[in-house]
Structures are given as C-alpha cells and as structure tokens.
Structure 1
Amino acid sequence: MTTIHLALSGLSCGHCVKSVQKILNNIEGVEHAEVTLTQATVQGDVDPEILIAAIKAEEFGAELQENQSPKAKLLSEQSHEIVEPDPVIVEHSADQVSLLLTGLNCAACVLKVQKALQAVPNVQAARVNLAEQTALVFGNPLPQALVAAVEQAGYGAEVIEDEQLRREKQQVQVQAEIQQRKRQAGVALIVGFGLMFWGLLSGEMFVTEDNRAFWLIAGIVTFITMIYAGGHFYQRAWKSLLNKNFTMDSLVALGTGVAWLYSFTIVLQPNWFPEGLRHLYFEASTMIIGLINLGKMLEAKAKQRSSKALERLLDLTPTMARVIESDGERELPLQQVIQGMKLRLQTGDRVSVDGQITQGSVWVDESMLTGEPLAVQKHLGESVSAGTLVTDGTAIIVAQEVGRNTRLANIIKLVRQAQSSKPQIGQLADKVASVFVPVVIMIALISAIIWYFVNPAYTLVTFTTVLIIACPCALGLATPMSIIAGIGRAAELGILVRDADALQKAANVDTIVFDKTGTLTKGEPKVTALFPFNGYAETEVTKIAASLEQHANHPLAKAILDCAAEKQIPLQDVTAFHTLKGLGVKAKLSDQSVLLGNITLLQQEQIDTQFAQEIAHAEQAKGATVVYLAIEQQLAALFVIRDPLREDSSTALQRLHQQGYQVIMLTGDQEKTAQAVAKEVNIDRVIAGALPEGKAQAIQRLQQQGHNVLMVGDGINDAPALAQANVGTAMGGGTDIAIETAELTLMRHSIHSVVDALALSKGTLKNMKQNLFGAFVYNSLGIPIAAGVLYPFWGILLNPMFAGVAMALSSITVATNANRLLRFKP
C-alpha cells in the first residue's frame, strides 16, 4: 500500500471536499482518502493518474505532489560564506497501523502475536500491549494481512484508524468482558460452593454405591458449568495447541480438565481405582474457573483505571464546533470541520481545532496540554490549540489543523505509541515467558510422578495445583501496566515521553546539562543598552545592525530587530551577506564592509576593541551578552542584550542539587556572560563558547567520564547534543528538529518539569521492578510449594482452589501497584 499526495485547486467549501473524498474512496484500489480544501492524501494501490482524472472530471484541479526524501540537516557544516540552507525536514516515522486485539491473556500470548505480526511482509516492527489489548505495527503492510496473521495465531484483531473509534470499541469490549466474567464467575462459584458444602455436610467426597448416582449428576452439571464459565479457556488452549504454543489458558484448561476427567472416570468406573484414590475434584474444577474469572474481572477494572490519563486527553476534544458561514452560525460535527473554516469561541467552549485568532481575544486554560495552572490570554494573530478551554472572552478563529493533525491528536498518538513500547527491563520477562508454560507443565508432570510413588492420593492434587498457581499473566502485565500508568501520568504533568526506554534511561541519569538561551532563560532577549563609538549615532548603528540581522535566524538577531522596530527605524538592503558560524555575520551596506558578532570575530579581523573592553566586561559580569558592530574595520558600537532568566530556574536547579544531580550549563555564549548567569542560579560547571558540533562533543566527553547525561535544549543548534545525550529533552516551545531529536518533550515552559520528569522516571522504574520482582518471587515460591516441597517438613499441601485464588491475586496485585503511579506527585 502506498501513500499519494495530491495538490488540489477549485475547492471552495465543505461540500466540495466531501464530493472529492467520496469520488476517491469509490475508486477501486483506494483504501482510504483524506481531503482538505488544498490537498488530498490517498492510501492504497492505485495509479495516481486515475485519481487525477477522476477529480478533474468533477471540474476540480489536481496534480501530483512529489515527496522529498525526509532528512534532517543539523547545520553542522562550518562555512564563512552564506549559502541557501537546506530546509530542516523532520525525519518522519514509518507508517503505523493500530490493531485492537482480543483473546490475549499472558506474556506468552504477547510473544506469539508479536512474532506473527513481525512475519508479515513490509512490517518493520510490532509492539503488542497486553494491558491495553492493542498492537502498534510500524511499516507499510496490508492491514488485512495483519488481521489474518493474528487470527491464524489464534487471536482476534481489528484495524483501528480513528482514535476516538478505538476508544469507544475498547470501552465496549472491556465492559462486555467485565460483565461476562462476572456472570461466569458467579455461576462457577455457586456450583463450586454448592458441591463443597455438600461434601462438608455429607462428610465425604468419595464415590460409594449409595452416592454414585448423585456424583454422576454432579459430574454432568460440573461439565456444563465448565463449558459455560470456562469455555474461553478451553477454546484458546486448543487454538494454542494447534499453533504449537502454550499459554495461561493451556495451564487452566489442562489443570481443570484433568481434575474433572479423573473425577468423572472414578464415578463411571470406581473399581479401576483403589479406595484411597477415589477422591473427587468436581468442586475444585468449578471453583478454580470461578476464581480465575473473578480475578480477570477485577484485573479488567484495574486496567481501565490505568488508561484514565489517556482517556482524559481524549475527552478534551469536543464532538461539535460552532462554524461561521455566509448565512450565519451553526453547530457542526467535528468530523465535518475542515481547514480554512471560521469558528467562534465563547466562554466555556473547548477549542475543537488548532487555529489562529482573526478577531477578538480570549483567556485559555492550557493546563491539560502543558501543565500550566494559569489561563493565558490569546490576542489577534495568536494560535489556540484543540482541547484547551476558553475561560473568558470571545473570538473568531480560522481552522489551521483539524482531526488527527492537531497538536492534541499528535500528543495522544505519541502517548499511545510510548505506552505500547517496552523498556529493556521488560525483555527479561519476555525471555522467561517464552519458556515459562512448557517448564511449568514439566514441573507439574515431574511432581505428579514423584507423588505417585510417595503417596498416590496426592498425585492429582499436586499436578493440578502446580498448573493453576503458575501465573504468566503477572509476568506479562508487570511492565506494560507500569508503562501505561507512568506515561499517562507524565502526559498529565505536561511531559511527553517518546518511548518507555527513555523512562528507564532517565531514571539512571546523574548529570543534567542545560542550554542557556530559551531553556534557563526565557528566550526573549532585549537590547538594554547601546554604546556607539567613533562618531556614530545610536540611530545609525541600530539601522545598520538591524539591516544585517534581518537575514539572520538567531534570538539575538530578533532582539536587535525589535530594537529598530520600537524606534521605527527603516531598514536597508544588504549585499554579499555571509553567516560566520559561531561568530556572527558580515555584509556590504552602501559599499561599506560591515561586521556584526562576538569579540572573537572582531579579533580575527584584527579590529581594535581594546578601548571598549571595560564596558563589555562590566556588562558581561551582570549576565548580559555583548554584540560588536564594526564598519570599515572600525568598532562602531556595542549592543548590550539581556535575556531574563525564567522565574523558576533558581528553585528548580536547587531541587536538582538537593537530589544529588550535577548541573552543567552548555552554551555558545561568551564565557563571562555564561559565568554570571551560572553564578546567579548556582550552576556547578559552565562550558561556554560551544558551537553545535562542540556541544555534542562536550556531551560525549562527559559520557566518556562515566556520566549518564540528560541534555535540555530548545534550538536547532542543540539538536546534535540532544541526539548524543543518554536522554535528550526538548522544551515544548523549541524548534521541531529539537523536539524530534529529543526523547522527552516538556510542554510546560518550566525547569521544574525537568525535575518532575526525573522523579517520575525513577518512580516508574521502581514500580516496574516491584512488579517484576513480585511476579518472579510469586512464581519462584508458589510453584515449589504447590509441588509439595513443604509437605515433608510441616505437612503443608496446597488445595487447588487456593492456587486459583493466589493466581488471581497475583495479577490483581500487579495492576493495583501500577495504578499507584496515577496518583504520583513529584
């Protein structure tokens, strides 16, 4: 299946969009088509010329958009000449297909489905989540082939393209499972308790000539109960056997099935067995099935709670939008809203799309997206995001991104992708799960053989108990439950996690490296002082400097341009413009040679700056950045630029110090300026004057010294360092390339988010270790005890029903422990 992008023309309204979309979806070979006023995206196996011809037949324009190979160029080439830079294009991930699964019960099921999916042609990778009953497949496979592969492995699957639809279906599926398990558990437990009480009242669970008829009826009732309440175990166990695979269902089916078959054989042919071996286990079979179903019901409820954080994000998107049309306003379903439409926002509205304000102003609560507790005022020309809440005011916006392309939709997609990932620590559970069930069956058989010779009366008890107490479910849930809860909680705190491995790596970090501009500081530099020299006037040097900076892309350039704009100084065109990386810029203006940059640039050009150094050093000692302007090899002015620190930088860094982290500032700024800022916020170490590739090398040196490094940055020049760090962390307001390179993204513009992310990473890793330790200890102790190792010493031998209770409780304990992360407070 390929993706085709078409540029459209002539579409003027929602009706046009619907018409073109309907045409495209009706063409043979088209799997899915999305249409806006200006573009169509078509997935399927079809000739683009057929699509174009069909659109043109309806008197609309269409042409094929050539897709460039995506790559990101991180501006690492050093040149003293300006060239037209390649556009920075973010590397896109492979196409993804989401599947909603049914029938998965344990870690062995996960491995089986994952293996089946990865065997499908064009699949790059597959992630299967037991807790969510979902799969995320990367690559470009045929969705039908994925479904067929899962079904062939013995499970159910359905392709889900819309996140809201997935949610609705998943909720229906979970509720149906809870109700079904509740009914099955109730029936099985009633029958089981009834048989158990009969045995207690009659004083015997053995077959005699007097009670044989009763036990025959009881055996038939038990069989019917097992089919009704436990049929799903037997069906899935049979499918697993056909696929040469063993799962939790295999253990339950084998244990309860053998117990019933043994008991019913005694009822039919009691003379085949010595009197001491005529004990019946009908009640054990039904009680075990009832207890496991009860545990599965409680486990499903716990899983629901673990997904609440993501569900709350989904709830942020309204289903309707107030659209302004030529004949007035009307409410439209969100699915019908397209780019370019005008929408009205009023107090109390949830914003339904990403848009730009064209009229009015509003106060917007962005807390669920960024974690910022206070509402932010949005004015004419500013952007609003889908999912945010209008707390006051009214405005008209034009829709820029809708549906799955909004910022909120991308956050949800990232969260779900991260929740489906698996950290390195989870690979141990996978390795154990791959051999767990066969090993348990072998242990059960060996224990039964040993007991047959030691005390035959306990042969079936130990065999059944070993099978039932073993719990691959707890192993399978240990990691994904913690990941779902931890990453969901991170999203609520305004921290986006790219994958689960980032959490594990962040938990092991010992050194935090911060960029200065835009990270520790607000990224809003302003010219606070100007010192002209050699007879130049302030207006003249400002005009010249701003004329050069209009071609630059740097925060300091913006400060000088803003200074010129405030003074209403007109700019001039320059020629022979060159960017001198890490130094500044140079150009020709009115046939004069002009330089603008740092002290190193002027020193390289052998321009005398000695007479201005006292002023420069004084300003740098206060934390300011000094920019030098030279005209015709003569110093013309010093621009003093300050970028105020974020209000919370000092307190956040204090929290990091208290927790034992080494804090380093890595900046391209001048040494004296960097040291002044570092002193103000108590930073341990400063690395100044670093070029982009120098930043990456600095991180590498720290790693070579044995440090695990987390780097926090926001700009293009930070991207190499973010990629080099053990954990790259981007501020949410940073550039796309910085965010794409990073493993953590902080939606809240606060350094406290870094501290919160580290605390949550440690909490999540600790929770995973607790779950895995509990699952391993439970099975390591439970299986030998079930096999009867305590009997020779204290006469302790577990009843199969207690094994069923223990098995159910192990999974519930794992799920409940993971859900503690939902209440995590940094």
Structure 2
Amino acid sequence: MSSSRKGSVRIKGMHCATCVDAVRESMESLEGVDDISVNLATEKATFRFDPDRISMEDIANAVRSTGYDIARDESTLTIGGMHCATCALTIKESLEEVPGVKEAKVNFALGKATVDYDSTLASRSMLAAAVEKAGYKVLEIEGVMAERLARKAELNAVMRDLIIALAFVIPVASITMTYSFWSDLMTTDIRNYILLILAAPVQFFAGFRYYKGAYRAILNKRANMDTLVVLGTSSAFIYSLIVTLSPELVSTPDVYFDTSAVIITLVLAGKYLELRSRGSTSEAIMKLMDLQPSTAVTIRDGAETQVSIDEIKEGDLVLVKPGERMPIDGIVQSGRSSVDESMVTGESIPQEKVEGAEVIGGTVNISGMLKVKATRVGRNTTLAQIVKLVEDAQSSKAPIERYADKIAGYFVPAVLIVAVSTFIFWYYVGSGIWDVGDALSFSLTTFVAVLVIACPCALGLATPTAIVVGTGRGAQLGVLIKDADALETAGKLTTLIFDKTGTLTVGEPKVVKLVLGDAHDERELLYHAGSAERGSEHVLSGAVIEAAREAGIVLDEPETSTVVTGEGVTSIVKGVTIHVGNRRMAARLMSTPSKLDQSITQMEDEGMTVMVCIAQDKMLGAIGVADTLKAGTEEVVRTLTDMGLKVVMLTGDNERTARAIAARAGIQEFRAQLLPKDKASAIRSYQEAGEIVAMVGDGINDAPALAQADIGIAIGSGTDIALESGNIVLVRDDLKGVSTAIRLSRRTFRKIRENLFWALIYNTASIPIAAGILYPFTDWLLSPMIAAGAMAFSSVSVVANASLLRRFRP
C-alpha cells in the first residue's frame, strides 16, 4: 500500500473487548485497510488505508454495520461579513453541502455558525473553506477575543466608510438643496458634473461593501439586502450619469446623485447603529467569559509559582488572595474567607468559605487568603460549562424563528418583483391616468424607494437578538435556559409540577418523633431501624442513621439488604430479619396495633413521613421524619399562581402527609404515594388533558419525570449542578429561580413577537407606500432618502427593543 494514508475514527457504543473485536473484524474485512488498532479506553480506531481503493465513508459505514456509531464533532466558526438573514441562509446551505455535515446552524445576530459533522468525512478546514467559497470570512481566533476583535473590526470599517460618505454627502446635499438660490452663477450642466464628482466616492468607495455583498449573492444564486441597496442606488446614479453626460436623451436635466449618496450614507449609519446595538446584546456572555482569570498561583513542593490556568491539573493546590478570582472549581484546604458568587450563581450575598467548602471558578475571594485543591479545571469547571450551555442556547433556533427564516428566503426576490412591477406600472399605466410629471423620473423614484425601504435585516434579527439577550440575562440571574425551544415552550406553560423532597423541602429530613410498639425503649427501635437502613441510600435512611448516631448507638452492618420499591428496605442484621418501611409494607407483613395506628395517623396529619420497624414478627414502633419547607416556598407558589399557572405537588408520601405539606406550601392540588414511574405517568395525564407542563426537580432522582414534561427545570447548588438534566437549570438552590425562569421566558417570547410583528408590519405597510399607493389620493410620493432612513431605523429598532431585556428584574 505505497499510497496509503493514516486514518482514525472515534467510535461510540463500545463497552468491552468483544466490542473491540467486532469493530476490528469489520475493518479487517475491507480491501485496502490494514495496520488496524482499536482502543477501548480512547474509543478510537486507527488504521492505514489506500484512498484509491476505499474511502473514509466506506470505512465508517463498515463500523456502523456492526451496530456502533461514529462519533460526530461539533465546531463553532466565527464569521465576518454577514449583513442579513439571507447571508446566514447562504452560509448554512454552503456548509451543509460539505460531505459529512449533518447540520449547520448559523446565527446572524451572533455572527457564528455551529456545525455538527462526521470527523471521518469533514474537517474544520473544509468547513472554513466552504464559508470562504460562499464569500465570507472565518476568523481563526476563538473565544471571547474573537468576537470582540470581529465586532471591533467590522464596526471600525463601517465607521470609516460612514465618515467618507458624510464628507462627500454634506456638500452634495447642500448644493442640491440651495442651487435654486444661486442658479444664475452656475449652469445646470456644471452643477451636475460637480455632483457626479462628489457622489462617485460615496457610491463606489463608501458603498463598495454593498457591491461586494451583491456580487457574492449573485455567485451563490441569491439576492440579499446588498442586492436591494446596490440596485436602488445604482439605478439612481446611472440615470443621473446619463443625464449629466448626455442631457439631450432626457426631457428634464434633473439628477439623483443626492438620492444615491444619501441612501448609502443612511444605510451605513443604520448599519453602524445596528452593530453597536448587537454588540451590547451579547454583553452577558462576554461578562461571564471575562470572569475566568488567565493565570493562577499554584503551590508545588512548598513553592508558589504563577502559571497559566491551562497548566493547572486536578489535585493541584492553588493559592487565592483577597480580591482575586477563583481560577478553578475546588475544595478549600485551609483559610477562611467570604466569596462573592453573584456573577456566576446570581446570589447577591457573599458566602462564607472555610476548610472543606466548595468554591466555583470565576467567583471573587473577598476577605481572606484561601488554599484551594482543584477538583475541576479547564472545560470541566462550572463556569466553562455554563458559558458553553449559554453559547449553545444562543445559537439555537426557536420554532417561530424557522418560519421567519422561510419568509426571509423569499423576501428579497419578492421585493425585486414588486420594484420592477412598480416601475412598469407607473411608466406605462399610471403616468397615463394621473399627472406624475416626467414618467421616467417618477417611475425611477418609486423603483428606488421600494428597493431601499424593504428591510430583510429586521426580519432576520427579530428572533435571535431576543434569544441572545434573554438567555444571557438568564445566565446572570442563575437561570440557564438550554435552547430556544425551551424558551418558547416555557413562555406557554399552563401547569407547574413540583417534586416534594429536595425541591419544595430542604431535602435534609430529621427524625422528630418516635412511637414505641413492641420495643422496650427508643434505643432498641433506633438500633434495629438504623442498622437495617444502612443497606439503603434513600434520603430518609440517612435521617434514621443520623438519629441513632446522635443517640450514641453503635449500628451494625447488615449482612444482606433488599430495597422494596415503593415500600422500604428489608435487611438481615446478625441473623435477624428487619423490615423498615411505610404503611404499605407494614400492612403486607402484619396488622398494626390500633394504638400505634392512631399515633401513625396523627403524625401523618402533622406532615411527617412515618416509617414502621418490624423485627422477628414484632412491630417495634414507628419513626416520624419531617423535612422543612425551603424558605420562601409559600411566596413562590403564590407568585406562580398569580401568574395564572396551576401548581401541583407530586410525592411518594402517603395522602395525609402530602396534604399537610401541600397545605403549608399553599398548593391546592397534589398526588401522593407515587413511585418514580408513577410521577412520569401523572405528568402524561396532565399533558393528555391539554396542559403544557413543567416539572421541577433536582435533576437526579426525577429523571423520568423531567424527561416526560414539556419543560424540565432542574435545581442545582453551586458546583453541584446537573447541567445535563432538564431544559432549564437553576444554578442556585432557590425556588425563586422557577418564577424568574418563567417570567423571563414570557418576556423574551413577547419581545420576539413584538419584533416579528414590527418587522412584518413595517415591510407590509412601507413597501406599498414606497410604490406610490397613496399618490392617487394625496399627490404625495415617498422620497427614496426617507425610505432609506426608515429602513435603517427598522433594523436598529428591532435590536434596541430586544436589548431592553437586559433591564429585566426578577
């Protein structure tokens, strides 16, 4: 295989040596492939292959035929040169033409493309080449610096062109407006030549970006905003040029150099303001990125050394002085301080940190010096995961945006048809019915006005800018919205379902009451129950074990333990079979004495969860465990109810306990005695009744219910955030985040509707006015210069309206 090349594929789904053998054998059966090595640890296969005899796609298909999959890569490209939604659509189609690309999502507002592709068939360089072939630039610097440099460069370029345009357009406008006062000093022909000389730099230098964009669109067989601007201004300029060079060809010597120059200047001004506004929309994510320091002081062999954060490894000891930011997630080894976590979690009150406490990267050490052992570094830190999640959310598309994209795809061709039709109508029909003066001049004015007043940018920016600002503001408040779908669905919720333990309650239940049955004393009851519960990981088990230890009781390790789903645990301790569980388990095993039964009922009415302990066919007694409601639970429930949401509680507790806790929380509707699978079924029943349901849980014990709900809201705490759980993740263990998430989603979606309404109404109303629909009734015709100003204002207003979300307060 003299022409062989080295190749590799990442394989998903391998679990053991048998899997490795299956993959290797599938590749060995191929002609032109040898030197095969399959590594289970790295989930990667390396080999040599002859590209003249076999392709990488054939090799990938051979792996897939064995039941395994080829891992896909995701790459984000920062792109320069996009001017409107059509540009984004062009780039998307160009990327998706690359072999191996599954999906490309292009965000015009962010200037980014996120590409999901098969690394065996495509590479980042191939993606970049596809973008550049379409006529756009890929900025190779990644991260926050790339965005800032890209925005600054584009902003400076537009400002330069705007200054040039203003330098020439001011004298052009002055001469045009005042010529009638001093026309005896200069002939019309000379004036026209002067205007030509002044307007040409505006048209072809300051406006070159639009010619370049229009040419790029033609190469891609498309029409975009640049096409409209170039056609409109070029028509006015070329007509004026003909009048200037050959005035005998037209009936009047009127020129429109001022029109073309002013239009380009106004469009540039609008673009400058739009870029400034768009820069502020992603301010939140940039602030999050800035939280990560670039260097840190590590302690190695007793010596302090300043290193790049990229050099820090898990287990390293890091010294953090007062005023510095935590470079990593970690555990305090020594020192005492208060830490400001507001920028990461939204918690405004500084948190005390002592030995053993967890700290989050990006937070600020306020008062004392801390030595921190790194537990998560680089991309694994909480901050890095939050930034990635927000970036993904900002790059996603809401369902409503997909409709807007479809409209944008047909928008510019439709405007071109309307513009040409308008010219033909007024020149051949309208001028014969109404007094329009010079037919060619009038028709040209309507043609140009239609082209420049149409604004595809407003349509393209309406949704993504609101999503970028909304998700960014959410991140600042400790609410991580994973994608635009979740944002849109959360804005339409009708029912909110809470899990009880650990969500509505603190999640740290304690034994509050013991009732004796056949046990001689409380110590005997706690010994048997505590020893049996050592075989269970349930949160209530921990409460019983802790109560036994506090009483000074030495517990024994069970020889065997069996968890009985929905009932409790059965363990054998020193040869004695012990059952600890709820009423259901007790009723199955033996009858409960009436006096003890009455005590159990009373405890349940008081909101306790009751566990019965049975050993050697004797009912030793009952243990009442209570978990306090989280602070502010009643207020949050009241707020959600006032928002028009139905609030429901689901719990595995019995009916009496559930009713007592629901009453304390202010919840009217609840379902009790539910197994984990029953909770998912309960949610399904609400959905079948037409409700749009959100489930709030801890993201760990509630996975089936969170997955079943239309929106899963997972509550985390500090570094213990289940970022992979739910559609919305609350960084802080605070139920107020639930109402914040829903209110922010509603507000964001309202901004999206407002922006789309404005963009559609603006174009629907303005294009007919520009076409002269009012002229027969008012003798008034819209000036192309006013049309250009309206177009510029339209884009800016959409971005400015979305930016108001930055002022959202929970």
TM bracket (short chain): 0.7 to 0.9
Partner residue of 1:154?
A: 135
Shift of 1:401: 1.2
**Greater mean deviation of Cα atoms: 235-244 or 105-114:** 105-114
Query: Residue type matched to 2:78 in 1?
Result: L
Shift of 1:188: 1.3
Query: Residue type matched to 2:514 in 1?
Result: L
Shift of 1:568: 4.2
Q: Does 1:701 align with 2:676?
A: no
For residues 633 and 400 of structure 1, the distance between their equivalents in structure 2, rounded to whole angstroms, comes to: 49
Pair 122,531 (structure 1): closer, same or farther in 2 beyond 3 Å: farther
Q: Secondary structure of the residue that 2:515 maps to in structure 1?
A: strand
For residues 271 and 641 of structure 1, the distance between their equivalents in structure 2, rounded to whole angstroms, comes to: 101
| 8 Å CA contact 2:71, 2:118 repeated in 1 | no
Pair 389,745 (structure 1): closer, same or farther in 2 beyond 3 Å: same
Q: Does 1:751 align with 2:732?
A: no
Q: Does 1:346 align with 2:321?
A: yes
Shift of 1:646: 0.5
Q: Secondary structure of the residue that 2:336 maps to in structure 1?
A: strand
Partner residue of 1:238?
A: 215
Partner residue of 2:235?
A: 258
Alignment coverage as a number of residue pairs: 748
**Greater mean deviation of Cα atoms: 513-522 or 456-465:** 456-465
| 8 Å CA contact 2:506, 2:630 repeated in 1 | yes
Q: Where does 1:134-533 land on structure 2 (aligned, <5 Å)?
A: 134-141=112-119, 142-158=123-139, 165-203=142-180, 210-273=187-250, 275-276=251-252, 278-453=253-428, 454=431, 455-533=439-517
For residues 564 and 40 of structure 2, the distance between their equivalents in structure 1, rounded to whole angstroms, comes to: 42
Q: Where does 1:746-785 land on structure 2 (aligned, <5 Å)?
A: 746-785=730-769
Q: Deviations over 1:87-108 (max 9, x none)?
A: xxxx999642111011111111
Q: Secondary structure of the residue that 1:232 maps to in structure 2?
A: helix
Partner residue of 1:104?
A: 82
For residues 260 and 184 of structure 2, the distance between their equivalents in structure 1, rounded to whole angstroms, comes to: 17
| 8 Å CA contact 1:415, 1:498 repeated in 2 | yes
Shift of 1:204: 9.6
Shift of 1:317: 1.3
Pair 715,235 (structure 1): closer, same or farther in 2 beyond 3 Å: closer
For residues 629 and 366 of structure 2, the distance between their equivalents in structure 1, rounded to whole angstroms, comes to: 29
Q: Where does 1:22-171 land on structure 2 (aligned, <5 Å)?
A: 95-141=73-119, 142-158=123-139, 165-171=142-148
| 8 Å CA contact 1:732, 1:748 repeated in 2 | yes
**Greater mean deviation of Cα atoms: 628-637 or 151-160:** 151-160
Query: Residue type matched to 1:153 in 2?
Result: A
Pair 683,498 (structure 1): closer, same or farther in 2 beyond 3 Å: same
| 8 Å CA contact 2:699, 2:715 repeated in 1 | no
Query: Residue type matched to 1:469 in 2?
Result: I
For residues 40 and 806 of structure 2, the distance between their equivalents in structure 1, rounded to whole angstroms, comes to: 40
For residues 315 and 204 of structure 2, the distance between their equivalents in structure 1, rounded to whole angstroms, comes to: 58
Shift of 1:756: 1.1
Partner residue of 1:74?
A: none
Pair 371,175 (structure 1): closer, same or farther in 2 beyond 3 Å: same
Partner residue of 2:569?
A: 585
Shift of 1:572: 2.1
Q: Deviations over 1:233-284 (max 9, x none)?
A: 11111011011011111111111122211211222222222x23x4211121
| 8 Å CA contact 2:529, 2:613 repeated in 1 | yes
| 8 Å CA contact 1:187, 1:290 repeated in 2 | no
For residues 143 and 378 of structure 1, the distance between their equivalents in structure 2, rounded to whole angstroms, comes to: 43
Query: Residue type matched to 1:322 in 2?
Result: V
Partner residue of 1:691?
A: 675
Q: Deviations over 1:57-109 (max 9, x none)?
A: xxxxxxxxxxxx999xxxxxxxxxxxxxxxxxxx9996421110111111111
**Greater mean deviation of Cα atoms: 547-556 or 655-664:** 547-556
Shift of 1:215: 2.8
Shift of 1:732: 1.3
| 8 Å CA contact 1:474, 1:775 repeated in 2 | yes
Query: Residue type matched to 1:176 in 2?
Result: A
TM-score (norm 2): 0.88
| 8 Å CA contact 2:176, 2:258 repeated in 1 | no
Shift of 1:377: 2.1
| 8 Å CA contact 2:139, 2:150 repeated in 1 | no
Pair 384,758 (structure 1): closer, same or farther in 2 beyond 3 Å: same
Shift of 1:218: 3.5
For residues 46 and 268 of structure 2, the distance between their equivalents in structure 1, rounded to whole angstroms, comes to: 48
For residues 136 and 190 of structure 1, the distance between their equivalents in structure 2, rounded to whole angstroms, comes to: 40
For residues 410 and 40 of structure 1, the distance between their equivalents in structure 2, rounded to whole angstroms, comes to: 26
| 8 Å CA contact 1:205, 1:280 repeated in 2 | no
Pair 120,552 (structure 1): closer, same or farther in 2 beyond 3 Å: farther
Pair 782,145 (structure 1): closer, same or farther in 2 beyond 3 Å: same
Pair 205,368 (structure 1): closer, same or farther in 2 beyond 3 Å: farther
Query: Residue type matched to 1:371 in 2?
Result: G
**Greater mean deviation of Cα atoms: 188-197 or 436-445:** 188-197
Q: Secondary structure of the residue that 1:798 maps to in structure 2?
A: coil
| 8 Å CA contact 2:722, 2:729 repeated in 1 | no
| 8 Å CA contact 2:453, 2:791 repeated in 1 | yes
| 8 Å CA contact 1:207, 1:266 repeated in 2 | no
Q: Does 1:648 align with 2:625?
A: no
For residues 232 and 782 of structure 1, the distance between their equivalents in structure 2, rounded to whole angstroms, comes to: 25
TM-score (norm 1): 0.86
Q: Which runs of 5+ in 2 are unaligned?
A: 1-7, 13-38, 49-65, 432-438
Query: Residue type matched to 1:272 in 2?
Result: L
Q: Secondary structure of the residue that 2:497 maps to in structure 1?
A: strand
For residues 720 and 268 of structure 1, the distance between their equivalents in structure 2, rounded to whole angstroms, comes to: 77
Q: Where does 1:530-545 land on structure 2 (aligned, <5 Å)?
A: 530-545=514-529
Q: Which runs of 5+ in 1 are unaligned?
A: 6-38, 49-68, 72-90
Q: Where does 1:711-722 land on structure 2 (aligned, <5 Å)?
A: 711-722=695-706
For residues 412 and 265 of structure 2, the distance between their equivalents in structure 1, rounded to whole angstroms, comes to: 21
Shift of 1:761: 1.0
Pair 126,569 (structure 1): closer, same or farther in 2 beyond 3 Å: farther
Q: Deviations over 1:511-556 (max 9, x none)?
A: 1111101111011111122234313443333233233323322211
Aligned sequence identity (%): 37
For residues 363 and 734 of structure 1, the distance between their equivalents in structure 2, rounded to whole angstroms, comes to: 15
For residues 425 and 100 of structure 1, the distance between their equivalents in structure 2, rounded to whole angstroms, comes to: 24
Query: Residue type matched to 1:253 in 2?
Result: V
Shift of 1:411: 0.3
Partner residue of 1:20?
A: none
Q: Deviations over 1:486-519 (max 9, x none)?
A: 1111111110001011111111111111110111
Q: Where does 1:579-618 land on structure 2 (aligned, <5 Å)?
A: 579-618=563-602
Query: Residue type matched to 2:331 in 1?
Result: Q
| 8 Å CA contact 1:622, 1:676 repeated in 2 | yes
Shift of 1:795: 1.3
Q: Does 1:659 align with 2:659?
A: no
For residues 377 and 347 of structure 1, the distance between their equivalents in structure 2, rounded to whole angstroms, comes to: 13
For residues 807 and 44 of structure 1, the distance between their equivalents in structure 2, rounded to whole angstroms, comes to: 53
Query: Residue type matched to 2:412 in 1?
Result: V
For residues 325 and 782 of structure 2, the distance between their equivalents in structure 1, rounded to whole angstroms, comes to: 57
Pair 234,660 (structure 1): closer, same or farther in 2 beyond 3 Å: same
